[in-house]
Structure 1
Amino acid sequence: MAFFYLLPVILLVIFVASFISAIIRTIQTEYANCSIPPGVNNPGKLRLIVAVLIVTSTLGRICEKLELCSSLAVRRLLFSGRRPAPLPGVLQEDSRLGPVPVRLYRPRYRPGPRPGPAVLLFHGGGWICCGFDSHERICQYIAKESGSLVVSVGYRLAPEHKYPAAYEDCLNATLHFLQHLQHYGVDPARVTVCGDSAGGNLAAAVSQTLAGSSDLPRLRAQILIYPGLQALDFNLPSYQQNRGVPLLFRERVLYYSLHYVQGDTSNLEEVLEGAHVPPDMRLKYRKWVSPDNIPEEFKVRGYKPHKPCEFKPGIFEKVKRICEPTLCPLFAEDTVIQQLPESFILTCEYDVLRDDGLLYKKRLEDNGVPVTWYHIEDGFHGIVNLFDYHGLSFPSGKRGLDKVVAFIKGL
């Protein structure tokens, strides 16, 4: 009889042991797929962050299988984090620009009575994660150190709101702001758009849309921090060299992009290999998106020319919006590029998106647009966001953000 009383306990112990074992195996497998190059900044800290991300991802999948919540909900919770404490010297308030929610960061002390500069910031997160809280420290720092009004834009996230929702929100917020600069005490000649990762993509797209506008103040500059700017070639040198380097793996680029464009990640492998690109499109854009345009010093860590797989019209029809210029700013015509404002581009050596930034830098320079470029030799994707992250802060990220601040102050 005692056995029957113990049976539920035994089964529970077996279940818990199997559960923990499955988690450990998943973590070991995913960790084995990570590659942290010897030259990366503070590898020990990065390994710890990777471990946390893997555990969170695993728990997210478990919660989804148990129908407790989606894995995306767990990811968003991790990336948003807890709202940081207010920073002395910066006043904050939540507001709206038309229908778009924003958070304003005003430097408490700004010299002189004249209107000051402003920075509209579009947060990263692959169009599906992050928000005000995840980028609050960056906004506070830019506002305090540069003396600028910083406007953090809370655009709608995918997959609930697919492309072009995020782009439209950022554009509409910028338009509303430019139309009401006097209300915010901003100098019409000193408005900059800024973004990191997917936010850099949005900043570039908004800049291009407004480049030819004659009835609004012209943007003074665009700041693009490790931006993703094209969906034509996922086998450029940086994609090959850094495919397994955190915090952004090669496959994750498509995971985010496809969620944004179509709301799911079907056809991911075909798009990675280039099956979504018609031959005429590939030929048209090769002059702008080509490994031939990447300086040779960025190929020394290894590069093998890639032959795209056979074009599949069905795949193209499902994801064709992924190649529109408002999602791929590298595809804009020269007539648009030539009208863009002064630009700041930050790239990291150990980042799959490195070559997107390098290609855009070349396009801007070829068309006479002044470019300030800062390359973090020991950096990885997301390092600027970790500039002030308690014990997991990265000095190179701080230096990158200081370069951004110096650029703003010099405008």
Structure 2
Amino acid sequence: MFIHGGGYVYGSIDSYDNLCRYLTKNTGSVVVSVGYRLAPKHKCPAAFDDCLTATVNFLKTAQDYGVDPSSVIICGDSAGGNLTAGVCQALVGRSDIPKPLAQVMIYPGVQKADFNVPSYQQNKMVPLLLQDSAIYYTMMYICGNLSLSQEILKGSHVPPEIRQKLNTWFCCEEFKDKLYNPDIMAPFNKDVYEKVKKAFDLSCSPLFSDDAVFRQLPKAYILTCEFDVLRDDGLLYKKRLEDNGVPVTWFHVKDGFHGIVSFFGHPEVVQGKVAIDNVVSYIKNL
């Protein structure tokens, strides 16, 4: 199953058709491309609910399409990577459907708490996903407007217990440089939190789920790019999975930027082909 990206605001089955066809042809798999309602018309958790519903329905009927339901992989890029992580967590403990074989997350954004981790600070002006753009997509998905965007950017919506969790899990020392300012977050504002508390739900921030959930997740593949604001989101999720005994295959594109798999057919963006072919290799070897 493939869940497209686009910041919950853009993207469609049609815009990802070439990518899904490439995956089908080169992995020998049936690919189900999942469409979902978009923000701001449909706010959180609409996208998550649609993806979960589609996944459950397919797992229940996979044999009708000649698919072994115990061999289903859930995959997504960017916001689709977030939704992939959330859907896999939502399936934990269910006895009415088989557990996914694996989860494949391509530069996923897995938390809506700290938009100033090192990768956000270092790559805030790097296309295709700027720091301001990430805030925009988040606000459209959660609130449907930008009224609290500055508060979210400064982190005033983050309660102390979430800040402590981030400090505990933080795993990106090797990526820090002189541009990183760890003291940039504003004091906690409960009023702001109450207005955007959906940001910490499973449907937005699967990073913050309990260890008991993580321990039951399927094996994972995570792709990150050096020049991507979401780089450290992927690394944080990798750490949480590994800390809970979940096998993780990590592929880091050292000269990559956000969105490269969408350019896999463009000869001038060789990183895109390298990235998607690594995903193909992982899937074929499962």
What TM-score results when the alignment is normalised by the length of structure 1? 0.68
How high is the sequence identity, in percent, across the aligned residues? Answer: 55
Q: Does structure 1 retain, via aligned residues, the 8 Å contact 2:116–2:184? A: no
1:402 aligns with 277
Q: Could you report, residue by residue, the CA deviation over 1:191-225 in whole angstroms, capped at 9, with x for unpaired residues?
A: 00000000000000000011222221110000000
Q: 1:235 aligns with which of 110, 116, 133?
A: 116
What TM-score results when the alignment is normalised by the length of structure 2? 0.97
Q: 1:141 aligns with which of 9, 13, 22?
A: 22
Cα 1:150–1:359 change in 2 (3 A) is same
Q: Tell me the amino acid that sits aligned with residue 384 of structure 1.
A: V
1:273 aligns with 154
Q: Which has the larger radius of gyration?
A: 1
**Aligned 1:24-39 pairs, distance under 5 A:** none
Q: Does structure 2 retain, via aligned residues, the 8 Å contact 1:344–1:373? A: yes
Alpha-carbon offset, residue 325 of structure 1 = 2.3
Distance across 2 between alignment mates of 1:217 and 1:170: 16
Alpha-carbon offset, residue 121 of structure 1 = 0.5
Q: 2:220 aligns with which of 335, 343, 353?
A: 343
**Aligned 1:54-65 pairs, distance under 5 A:** none
Q: Could you report, residue by residue, the CA deviation over 1:29-54 in whole angstroms, capped at 9, with x for unpaired residues?
A: xxxxxxxxxxxxxxxxxxxxxxxxxx
Q: Tell me the amino acid that sits aligned with residue 141 of structure 1.
A: Y
1:262 aligns with 2:143: yes
Distance across 1 between alignment mates of 2:107 and 2:196: 24
After the TM superposition, list the runs of 4 or more consecutive aligned residues in structure 1 that deviate by more than 3 angstroms: none
Q: 2:131 aligns with which of 250, 254, 273?
A: 250
Name the count of aligned residue pairs.
286
Distance across 2 between alignment mates of 1:358 and 1:280: 20
Q: Could you report, residue by residue, the CA deviation over 1:301-349 in whole angstroms, capped at 9, with x for unpaired residues?
A: 6422224212222211211111112210100100100111110000000
**Aligned 1:58-137 pairs, distance under 5 A:** 120-137=1-18
Q: Tell me the amino acid that sits aligned with residue 316 of structure 1.
A: Y
Q: Could you report, residue by residue, the CA deviation over 1:274-293 in whole angstroms, capped at 9, with x for unpaired residues?
A: 111122432355423x3xx2
Alpha-carbon offset, residue 263 of structure 1 = 0.6
Q: Could you report, residue by residue, the CA deviation over 1:83-106 in whole angstroms, capped at 9, with x for unpaired residues?
A: xxxxxxxxxxxxxxxxxxxxxxxx
Q: Could you report, residue by residue, the CA deviation over 1:138-182 in whole angstroms, capped at 9, with x for unpaired residues?
A: 100000000000010110101111110000000000000011111
2:72 aligns with 191
Q: Tell me the amino acid that sits aligned with residue 402 of structure 1.
A: D
Q: 2:174 aligns with which of 297, 309, 313?
A: 297
Distance across 1 between alignment mates of 2:62 and 2:202: 28
Q: Tell me the amino acid that sits aligned with residue 352 of structure 1.
A: V
CA RMSD of aligned residues (A): 1.3
Question: Higher RCO, 1 or 2 (CA under 8 Å, sep at least 6)?
Answer: 2
Q: Tell me the amino acid that sits aligned with residue 142 of structure 1.
A: L
